[in-house]
Each structure stands twice: as C-alpha cells, then as structure tokens.
Structure 1
Amino acid sequence: MPITSPRLTQESESHPSGKLFRWLWSYYLKSQTNKIAFALIFMTIQGSTLGALSYMIEPMFDEIFANKLTEALVWVGLTILGLFCLRGLAGFISTMIIVSVSERIKLNLQKDLMDHILTLDTMFFEVNSPGNIMERVLGDSDVVKMIWSGYIATGVRGCISIASLMFVAISIDPLWTLVTCLGIPLLVFPIIWLQRQIRKSTQIHRRASSETTVRLDEIFHGIHAIKLNLLENNQISRFVSKATESRRASIRAAGGNAAVPFLVDVVAGLGFLGLLILGGTEVINGEKTTGEFMSFFTAIVLMFDPFRRMSGLITAWQMTRVSLERVYVLLETKPNITQITKPETLDYTGDDLEIVFEDVAFSYPDLEVFDNLSFTIPPQKMTAIVGASGAGKTTVFNLLARIFDPTEGTVRIGGIDIKTMGLPELRGLFSVVAQDKGIFDETIRDNILLGQPNATGEEVSRAARSAQVLSFADELQLGLDAPCGPRGANLSGGQRQRVAIARAFLRNSPILLLDEPTSALDSNSEELIQDALEEFRSNRTIVVIAHRLATVRNADKIIVLDQGRVVEEGTHSELVAKGGLYSGLYQSQVLVS
C-alpha cells in the first residue's frame, strides 16, 4: 500500500460545539481553575454593582429629591462613587486575571501544536503547505484564546449584570418587566440564521487567510526566481487576489455579527415604547412613583447593554469555533511513523552494526520506488549507493532513518528490525548530511552545535576545521559567530554544505549518512573533505549517495541501483571491469570531465 498522509482540509470539519468546548476545557482551561475562580469572584462584584446602582435610583428620587434632603446628597454621591470605584477595581483585577489565563492558553496550545506537528512524518509536510500549518499554529491559536477572554469572561460578567438588574426590575414591577422583554423571543430565528451565515463566511475567511500566508511564504522563499523571471506583478496580483477574498469574507462575517446588536436595539426600542405607555400612564395616574419608574428605567437601560454584548457573542462564537475546529483537526492528525510501547534496545560495539534491507517494497501514492529490494551494508566500512536520478538512492536513507516505513519487507540494523526500536535511539545512530542542508537563521557555530549541543568550543573548532569551515569563517569579521541568515542565505552553497558536514562530524554517531556530500564544493575543497572523511571513517559505518562516481572510488563496497533494484555490487575496480551499468556511468562522466 503506497505511503500517504492526511491533507488538512481547507474547510473546517463539522464538530459539535459541546465536544469542542469539552476538549478545550479538559486540556487547557481546567488547569487554570484557581485563576478562573478568582476571576469569577471579581466579575460577580463588578456585575452586581450595576444592580446596586439602579436600586439606589428609587430612594434618591422619592425620598431625597421629593423631600429636598440636601444633606443626604453628599452621602448618596459618595456611595455611588464607591460603587464605581469598586466596579472599576473589580474590573481591573478580573481583566488582568483573564489576560493571564488567555495568554497561558495560547502558549500551551501553540506548544502542544508544535510538539504534535514535529511528531508527524515528512509526507504530512509534503501535502500540507507551510503557510497553512503556520496559520493554524499562529492565527487560529490566537483566535482560540478569545474563547476565554472574549466569550466566557464576557458572558459570565454579562449574566451576573443581567441577573442583578433583572432582580431590581422584577422587584419594582413584574408586569413592566414582562412588557419590556416581550420582544426578546423574536430574536431566536434571525440569530440562528445569522449563525449559519457567519460560520460559512468565517470558514472562507480562514481558508483565504491560510492561502494568503501560503502565498507570502512562496514569495519570500522564491524571491530570487521572482526577480530573475520578472514575476513581481504576477505575484502581487496573486497575493492581492487571495487577500481580497479574505477581506470580503471577513466583511460578510463582521456584518452578520453586527446585525445581532442591531436587532437587539430594535427589540429594546419596542420594549421601551411599551414601558413608556404602560409605566408612564401609571406614574401619571399616581399608581407608581417617579423614583420607581426611574429606577426601573435605569435597570433596563443598563441591562440591555450587556444583553447586546452577549447576543453578539452567540454569533461571534461561530467565528471562533471555525478556528477551534482547525486547531482540533490538526492535533487529531495521526502520524504514519510510530514506535511500539516497549521498544527494543540495541546493544552495539560498532563492528556489529550491519545494515540489511530484505525484500523491501516502497511506493509513493503515484510512484513505485522499490519492489523486493535486498542488500547488505557491512559495518565499519564505506558503502556507496549509486545510480541514475530517480533510482531510489535518497529513499534508502529515508527508510533507514524511518522517515518513511517500507510497505513490505524489513530493514534491520545490528540484527534488529528498526520498527521495533525507539525512534530517538534509531535516529541517534546516524550523523546525516542531506541534500537539504538544514541551515537555520543562527550563527555558524550554533548551526554546527545542532549536531551535539553540549560540545565544547574545542570540539566545535575541530569539526569546523575538518569540514573546511574555518577556511572561510576565519575571513569573516565574526568568524564562527557570523550569522548564516534565513536558510543559510548569507552563505554560498558550498559553505552551507561544509557547515552541514561539520555538524555531522561533531555529532560523531556510529553511522554516517552522506547524500551528495561534495556536490556543491570546488575540486580543492572536495579533495580536502575526502581526506577528512578518510580520517573520520575509522570505526564507523559510512553510507554515501553519489552522482559523481569519482568521489566513491575508495569505497569498500558500491551498490548500483536501477529502477528500484540492485543491479550490481562490488568495488570500483570490480564494477569497472564488469563493463555493466556502473562502468557505463563512470566512463560517461570521465568523458564529460
């Protein structure tokens, strides 16, 4: 069965809101329970002050104003000032706690996303663009944090405010309360319809945002090709097209979200109309006092503000839910390469690390690479794997390090099936120089230290000297502390290759895998690297992939691949003497040179 990996869908999969929220609570909110409890206490204080404020309106009108109690005004004013100060202090404290919890959720979520993404196999990154993944890690996780700071906290604070104000309103006149709130049920069906529209628009917006990030990633990484081929206008046009799609979807979603407060205002206006007709008539007839009316009116006015915000949250949740689904789907993506619960431990001395491929088959979704591939790589020897482009040479390395697993057959190291070994132990056996040099935006020293982070300065210098890094680093003002630039942009291809080789030398693993190690080097540097390899090969198993056959003439064994099969094995002189495929390849390269 060909190796496959899931593609992250551009449109979010549908997951029930309850399931998503339970997942969020279990993994990210539950650990913050103490902080959330404190925040709820201060939100309760903040919300209840509105009820106390509206309650004070009635005695202020009916007793103080009506009886002209001037001396009481100061005390009432001080009391109201105290309420506002208490409300402000409670709001400040709860906001700081909310921000702390939100940022912790965001950090934990991003950390978990990165931890999980790095467990996924290479094929996942070949079918999912970096921009799409980056948007989920950065953009969607930033939206998800708003579930606590923007929705739960606002909802709790709003519910407490509404409850305290509703208590005041009902205590004054239940009928007035019923008339004022009579239009609220009319909001149900419009809000349900708006939720669906907002969710659809937000899905399009998040997809377009991901595609915009993908386009930027492609532009910045392909900047040289863009400039050389005069593609600036073409790329700008493509970027603007994606950004415009994102903008339009964002406007549609925002419009739907803004429509809910608008509907609430209309319903509120109808409620106040009914209140003025009913309540105003009773006040004029002397059935109710002015203080009761003003207290009720204040409570209703204050109540509709948090109600507007909370009604907006109902639809805004649909926007956030899309991002939550996208994050959830990514975290639920399973890797193809896994290790068993109790992996085997490989005890080795170095001379027993024989590598065996036995009847190995491997296919990509649209290409068969190997079928019954079998060969042996002897320990503590240099073995070269050669062949035309597309013969499967690099795939051999990927199977060895379990970047991929064979669809059939077995790969063994030291007599142990590598599938039964722990991944860290298996990959710890290898020092690798790959075609993709893997140079990061750090200093030359830091890039070499990736091979062995705890190495001493002398060990780093020795590896750099052996790999001919010092031959160019000593000419730089900062030496080994000179920055490499993004993807090693400050270094030439040959310099990047030498840094990668120095990293492999420093790692000092028992098996050295070299994929075209001297392809970007001039002949003088190549000769020096070959000399260094000769010194390094002592007591190590070295496996080299090479197109330039002159670089592997000293190999102890050469395996020739053609169309996914071993067609020849032997030393350089033996294979040249046979007059087969290897001899033909070698002679053609000699004639060209």
Structure 2
Amino acid sequence: MAGGDRRRLFFRLWRDYLRQHLGWVLVGLVLLSVEGGSVGALSYLLQPMFDRIFVAREAEAIWPVGMAIAGLFAARALAGVAQAVVLTRVGQRVTADVQGDLVRHVLSLDAEYFQKNAPGSLIERVQGDVTILQGVWSLLLAAGVRDLVALVSLLGVAIAVDPVWTAITAVGVPILILPSLVVQRYVRRKFGALRELVARRTTRLDEIFHSVVPIKLNAMEAYQERRFRELSDRIVQASVKTNAAQAMSPALVDLGVGLGFFLVLVYG
C-alpha cells in the first residue's frame, strides 16, 4: 500500500470511527503520557537515592525519596491499567462498528462477487483483518505516545545531568533509522502474505465442512487432511518469519543503546 493510500485510510478511520470517541481517546493519551513520563521521573529520582541515601547516608532523606519513588510506581501502575481499559474499550467499539459496516457493504454486492470470493476468505476479512486493524492502531497509539513521552523525559533528565554525554549517546540513534525502516517494510510484506494464508485456511475449512458428505462417500478424508496440514505448515513458517522480523526492532534498539553506553564509557 502506497503512502498516500495509508494516509487516506487512516484519515477515513479517524473520520468515520475514532473521532466519535475523541473524549476517551484523549483520556487514554493523558494516561499514556503519565505512564511514559514516569520513566523520566524515575531516572530523576535515582540521583537523590544514590547521592543522598547510599553515598551521603542521610537518614532524613529516606522517607521523602522512598515515598516519592513508591508513589511514582503506584501512579504508573494505575495509569497502565486505566489506559489499557480505555484503549480496549475504544478499540473494541471501533472494531464492532467497522465489522458491522463491512457486513452491510458486502451484503449490498451482487451475486458475482460471492462467486469470485470464497466464504472463508470473506469471513477472515471481516473478522481477522478488522481485529488486527484494532490491534495495530492501539499499538501505534500506545507506542507513539507513551514511548515518545518517555524518550522526551529521559532526554530532558540526561541533558540536565550532562549535555555532552547525552550528545554522545545520541550517536547510536541515526544508526537505527535505516535498519528499522527496512525491517518494518519486510514485516508488512510478510504479514500480508500471512493474512492471505490464514484466509485460504479458513476457506479450506469452509469447503471441508460444507462438503463433508461427498468427502466421506468418496473416502477423501486423508486427502483433505493432507491439504489442510500442508497449508497449516505454511502458516507456521510464515508466522515464525513474521515474528522473527518483529523481534528485530527491539533488538536494534538494544544494539543502539549498547553502543551509546559504550561510547559514554570510552568518553568518561
């Protein structure tokens, strides 16, 4: 899908489905910001914990610093649970609306469309693809807001502590950009192929269950089972490749972080 098509699709999703839940979306954004900002706040509180309590051994600092850290984790926990509930509510409502509109549109098509598209494929499109769409937008919203706030808060604390070290650790950021883009493009391609295989498996099951009498009369049980297993094996292989590619993104982040720490140690 081209970039322009993706933008139009996202705009349509927002205009027709997400905008009516704007209030809950804003609540989710605030909760995600609290969850993400707690990372920077924790890094800021680590300095008095080590400097005043562990190094200087100031007994009077134990209670305020300890209560601040405990309160921070409590706020993060509550925000994490609340944002999950809010985003799940919005996502499930949007999924139900999209599926209802999709069924209404499919029912308005002529009989030729149903002759060209197997029922199993249509079922997978209505159920599987729409459910994945809900998961994707929730993931993008969570990652885009929570991780961005966490990154900004961490950068703010790092710059306040030592701007030079912050600049050195940022060397690893450009190294991650190009590989991450390549990985994401590969994941999208493999994920599309995986969805096609899943749709074909659903169609195969639909054909088997609707033709079970002829299958038994012609003793074709073993043949149908073999075809189904072959398709399932292909789905397993595609799933492994897709998940392996998805796991490369955090691995690249770890490599960049490791490089940043190494440069800081060399500089220090």
TM-score by length of 2: 0.94
Aligned residue number for residue 265 of structure 1: 254
Aligned residue number for residue 98 of structure 1: 87
Cα offsets for 1:20-76 (capped at 9, x unmatched): 211211111111101001111112122222211111122222333333211321221
* Residues 99 and 130 in structure 2, CA contact (< 8 A), matched pair in contact too: yes
Q: Which amino acid aligns with 1:124?
A: Y
Q: How many residues align?
A: 268
* Residues 170 and 260 in structure 2, CA contact (< 8 A), matched pair in contact too: yes
Aligned residue number for residue 46 of structure 1: 35
Q: 1:81 and 1:163, CA in 2 relative to 1: closer, same or farther beyond 3 A?
A: same
Choose the corresponding residue for 1:222, options 182, 207, 211: 211
**Structure with more contact order per residue of length (Cα contacts < 8 Å, sep ≥ 6):** 2
Q: What's the offset of the Cα at 1:209?
A: 0.7
1:179 pairs with 2:192? no
CA distance in 1, matches of 2:129, 2:9: 14
1:232 pairs with 2:232? no
Choose the corresponding residue for 2:56, options 67, 70, 76: 67
Q: 1:13 and 1:44, CA in 2 relative to 1: closer, same or farther beyond 3 A?
A: closer
CA distance in 2, matches of 1:222, 1:15: 43
Unaligned runs of 5+ in 2: none
CA distance in 2, matches of 1:104, 1:170: 42
Choose the corresponding residue for 1:195, options 173, 178, 184: 184
Q: What's the offset of the Cα at 1:273?
A: 0.9
SS of the residue aligned with 1:145? helix
Q: What's the offset of the Cα at 1:172?
A: 0.9
Cα offsets for 1:84-113 (capped at 9, x unmatched): 111111111111101100101110111111
CA distance in 2, matches of 1:254, 1:65: 43
Aligned residue number for residue 69 of structure 2: 80
Choose the corresponding residue for 1:129, options 108, 118, 124: 118
* Residues 36 and 147 in structure 2, CA contact (< 8 A), matched pair in contact too: yes
Q: Which amino acid aligns with 1:28?
A: Y
* Residues 98 and 148 in structure 1, CA contact (< 8 A), matched pair in contact too: no
Q: Which amino acid aligns with 1:252?
A: K
Cα offsets for 1:419-442 (capped at 9, x unmatched): xxxxxxxxxxxxxxxxxxxxxxxx
Aligned residue number for residue 249 of structure 1: 238
Cα offsets for 1:355-389 (capped at 9, x unmatched): xxxxxxxxxxxxxxxxxxxxxxxxxxxxxxxxxxx
CA distance in 1, matches of 2:253, 2:123: 38
Unaligned runs of 5+ in 1: 1-11, 282-593
SS of the residue aligned with 1:120? coil
Q: How does 1:382-421 map to 2 (within 5 A)?
A: none
CA distance in 1, matches of 2:163, 2:142: 29
Q: 1:107 and 1:258, CA in 2 relative to 1: closer, same or farther beyond 3 A?
A: same
Q: Which amino acid aligns with 2:31?
A: F
Q: How does 1:418-433 map to 2 (within 5 A)?
A: none
Choose the corresponding residue for 1:205, options 194, 207, 215: 194
Cα offsets for 1:248-272 (capped at 9, x unmatched): 2222221111112112211111111
* Residues 51 and 161 in structure 1, CA contact (< 8 A), matched pair in contact too: yes
CA distance in 1, matches of 2:2, 2:211: 32
Q: Which amino acid aligns with 2:73?
A: F
Q: 1:188 and 1:50, CA in 2 relative to 1: closer, same or farther beyond 3 A?
A: closer
Q: How does 1:414-453 map to 2 (within 5 A)?
A: none
TM-score by length of 1: 0.44
Aligned residue number for residue 116 of structure 1: 105
Q: Which has the larger radius of gyration?
A: 1
Aligned residue number for residue 160 of structure 1: 149
* Identity score, percent: 38
Q: 1:126 and 1:256, CA in 2 relative to 1: closer, same or farther beyond 3 A?
A: same
Q: What's the offset of the Cα at 1:13?
A: 8.6
CA distance in 2, matches of 1:169, 1:272: 13
CA distance in 2, matches of 1:52, 1:262: 25
Q: What's the offset of the Cα at 1:179?
A: 0.9
CA distance in 1, matches of 2:126, 2:2: 17
SS of the residue aligned with 2:108? coil
**194-203 or 233-242, which deviates more:** 194-203
* Residues 180 and 252 in structure 2, CA contact (< 8 A), matched pair in contact too: no
Q: 1:169 and 1:13, CA in 2 relative to 1: closer, same or farther beyond 3 A?
A: closer
* Residues 40 and 156 in structure 1, CA contact (< 8 A), matched pair in contact too: yes
Q: How does 1:482-493 map to 2 (within 5 A)?
A: none
Structure showing the higher strand proportion among its residues: 1
Aligned alpha-carbon RMSD (Å): 1.7
1:37 pairs with 2:23? no
Q: 1:275 and 1:213, CA in 2 relative to 1: closer, same or farther beyond 3 A?
A: same
* Residues 204 and 246 in structure 1, CA contact (< 8 A), matched pair in contact too: no
Q: Which amino acid aligns with 1:64?
A: I
Aligned residue number for residue 151 of structure 1: 140
Q: Which amino acid aligns with 1:167?
A: G
Q: 1:58 and 1:46, CA in 2 relative to 1: closer, same or farther beyond 3 A?
A: same
* Residues 45 and 90 in structure 1, CA contact (< 8 A), matched pair in contact too: yes
CA distance in 2, matches of 1:67, 1:265: 33
Q: Which amino acid aligns with 1:146?
A: G
Q: 1:158 and 1:14, CA in 2 relative to 1: closer, same or farther beyond 3 A?
A: closer
